[in-house]
Amino acid sequence: MKVKLIIILLLCAAFLLVYFIYPREQKIDNHLSNNELLLLSDRSLISGTINEKIFEFELVNSNASRTLGLSNRDAIGSDGMLFVFNKKASQSIWMKDMNFNLDLIWLSDGEIIGFNLAVPKPEPDQNLSELPIYQPVLAANAVLETQAGFVKQHGLEIGDSFTFFSLP
């Protein structure tokens, strides 16, 4: 009887030792909230995941950078540009000085709430007053500008959620 008790106690001690000392894989929840994205360096690169795919985005979170956006560029330079705003509202985007077409993905705390697909670049010498203004149907606190066709290519839908992470 004593031997059985000693064996049980030793097994329990071994289990507790392994449980508390042996390294375990830990899930680290380090995704960035909209407020945390506002604190990162303007024009920094971040990663974003959706539908188990990882992308790299340029973050713009200052008024000057949001105003300039992708204007006068020949290419995006990453998978897209993430515009982050201080509050949820009916944000506005236009295509001033753009050289390529875009998909606009409107976000509210990372959740897709709307799209403007294949938004065309302006015609040469188009008057600024003639440029359309693009807005979400619902209040948004971010918009992701990607190459036209991105939404269809990756099967994105309203209600899908992006998770954003800072790059090391």
Residue-level pLDDT at 39 = 82
Residue-level pLDDT at 26 = 34
Domains of the chain: 30-166 (2.60.120.1140)
Residue-level pLDDT at 124 = 87
Name every residue whose Cβ is closer than 8 Å to that of residue 119 and which is 6 or more positions away in sequence: 95, 101, 102, 103, 104, 134, 148
Give the whole-angstrom CA distance, residue 73 versus residue 93: 16
pLDDT along the chain (168 residues), means of 10: 67 54 43 83 90 92 86 90 94 92 96 97 90 95 96 96 84
Residue-level pLDDT at 65 = 84
And the tokens for 42?
A: 């303007």
Residue-level pLDDT at 52 = 87
Residue-level pLDDT at 14 = 59
Q: Compute the Cα dihedral for 61, 65, 71, 72 and give only its sign.
A: negative
